[in-house]
Amino acid sequence: MLRIRLHGRGGQGIKTASQILGTAAHLAGFQAQDFPLYGAERRGAPIVAYARFSKNIVLERGPVAQPDILLIGDETLLSDPMAAVTQGTDASTLIFINSRHTSQDLKKHYHLESLPVQLDISELCQKYIQKPMILSTALAAVGVRLMGHIDLHHLLQAIREELGQGRINPEKIAANLTLAEEVFQKAPSFDLEFSESDNGFSASRLVILERRPPVDSAPLIFATGNMAQRKTGNWRTHRPVVHNEQCNGCGICYARCPEGDIRMDANDKPVIDYDHCKGCLICVEECPKHAIEIIREVESWN
């Protein structure tokens, strides 16, 4: 069995990437399992998805705790302890990071046990589909290439099936196919070996769950307000930056911000609270003077 875990942020297509991986493996003749894990997170929040492939029946269930391949769509998650991106990995885990930094710099900066595979798939997504934050097709192509057991035509057929369910027009599907081919050619292939422990499960003891009143598990919060302490700025994939020389101080961005993260200073210029701004970019769309620029969030260091 091969186990893959995918990390990214809401809105980047992490769930779709796992579905493409699962479909491509199924088309290649493997038993496949793919699923995401998330709750009420919105765009920008950490998201994780999983995939398992085997030549035999897949009996494992639940999250992948020890992945053979780790696909990281957003490198800023490596600095977020709550995302726990590298949990369960060791020197044998094949790690891919979507980044502009070199593999050597990534290994040193994040104290990784092994040298990761690096490719800036966001740049390729911008080139082919003009959406650098939509990583589904590119990330799936990396996963297929790294495992080395699925041919390109199976990947392309999986993309057609997953994206062609009435949601995306033929022109965009064609662009995604070209993107997948480019990523497939640029990423290295490792031809990973399947583990022999696919079906090594035995029945465990029966666990009788205690019956508790519903109020014990209800999502009730009795503490005083603490949203200011929950700094959700690390949910961003792109940052809005105000150019004051173009701003006329109309305050529309202040009024339209759904999170209340924009205030007006003494000169009637907007100031953005980046500790809590989730990067919805509504302010960019609403600004009549086009005085707010979109900047991609990347991990940077000296």
Indicate the pLDDT class of residue 213, thresholds 50, 70 and 90: confident
pLDDT digits (tens, 9 = 90+) for 59-69: 888 899 999 99
pLDDT digits (tens, 9 = 90+) for 276-287: 998 889 999 999
Query: Model pTM?
Result: 0.78
Confidence check: pLDDT of 124 > 60: yes
Domain ranges of the chain: 2-186, 229-296
Segment 222-247 mean pLDDT: 83
Instruction: Give which of 234, 7, 279 is closest to 139, Cα–Cα.
Output: 7
Round the average pLDDT of the chain to a whole number and report it: 89
Segment 20-27 mean pLDDT: 96
Query: What tokens were used for 150?
Result: 């699925």
Q: What is the pLDDT of residue 302?
A: 47
Q: How many CB atoms lie within 10 A of CB 225?
A: 7
Q: Please give the share of the chain, as a percent, with pLDDT higher than 70.
A: 91
Pick the CATH number of 2-186 from 3.20.20.10, 3.40.50.1000, 3.40.920.10, 3.40.50.300: 3.40.920.10
Q: What is the pLDDT of residue 216?
A: 75
Q: What is the DSSP letter of 134?
A: -
**Cα(59)–Cα(165) distance, integer angstroms:** 29
Strands (E), the chain: 2-9, 31-37, 46-54, 69-72, 94-98, 117-119, 238-242, 262-264, 270-272, 292-296
Confidence check: pLDDT of 214 > 80: no
**Cα(234)–Cα(140) distance, integer angstroms:** 24
Topology of 229-296 in CATH? Alpha-Beta Plaits (3.30.70)
Indicate the pLDDT class of residue 152, thresholds 50, 70 and 90: very high
Instruction: Give which of 56, 60, 51 is closest to 21, Cα–Cα.
Output: 51
**Cα(247)–Cα(260) distance, integer angstroms:** 19
**Cα(85)–Cα(64) distance, integer angstroms:** 12
Q: What is the pLDDT of residue 196?
A: 63
Q: What is the pLDDT of residue 40?
A: 65
